[in-house]
Structure 1
Amino acid sequence: MRLDKFLKVSRLIKRRTLAKEVAGQGRIIVNGSPAKASTVLTVGDELVIQFAQKVLTLEVTSLKDTTKKGEAENLYKVINEEKVN
């Protein structure tokens, strides 16, 4: 599954276009290297996403094309969450 679609389906980022923009700015790292929106994810990949106020490190645990709001958190496991000042 593409990175931008995963971020939208998992509800980490609300819109796919916004996910593409964040990836284009180099604020997403997959398995230690900067990722593009078209990067293909697999189960077990580690993502580091830099938001405005925090850096989120997570592991992909499942890939689904669609999910309900309550099930979206089951697609990933948060490893670390740091606040950025």
Structure 2
Amino acid sequence: MRLDKFLKVSRLIKRRTVAADAADAGRIKVNDKVAKPSTKVYAGDIIEISFGNKTVKAKVKEIMNTTKKENVADMFDYI
């Protein structure tokens, strides 16, 4: 799954365009490498997102094309 879509579906970032803009600006890393919006995300990958002075790290547990709010916790774990 594309990085921007995963971030939207998992609700780490609310909109896919916002996720794509953040990736284009170099604020998202996948496995310690700066990622593009089209970067493929797999189970076990570590995603690091920089929001100003705050950084969020998450490990991908499962890839789902769609999910309900209650099942978001199945997609990733905060590190």
Q: TM-score, normalised by structure 2?
A: 0.95
Q: CA deviation at 1:52?
A: 2.7
Q: 1:18-45 CA distances to partner (integer Å, 9 max, x unpaired)?
A: 1000000000000111000000010000
Matches of 2:53 and 2:75 in 1, distance apart?
A: 23
SS of equivalent residue, structure 2 residue 17 = helix
User: Structure 2, unaligned stretches of length 5 or more?
Assistant: none
- 1:31 and 2:31 matched: yes
The amino acid of 2:6's aligned partner reads: F
The amino acid of 2:59's aligned partner reads: E
Q: 1:33-67 CA distances to partner (integer Å, 9 max, x unpaired)?
A: 10000000100001110013410111000000000
Q: Runs ≥4 in structure 1, deviation > 6 angstroms? A: none
RMSD value over aligned CA atoms? 0.8
| Bigger-Rg structure (1/2) | 1
Percent of matched pairs sharing the same residue: 49
Matches of 1:68 and 1:52 in 2, distance apart?
A: 28
Q: TM-score, normalised by structure 1?
A: 0.89
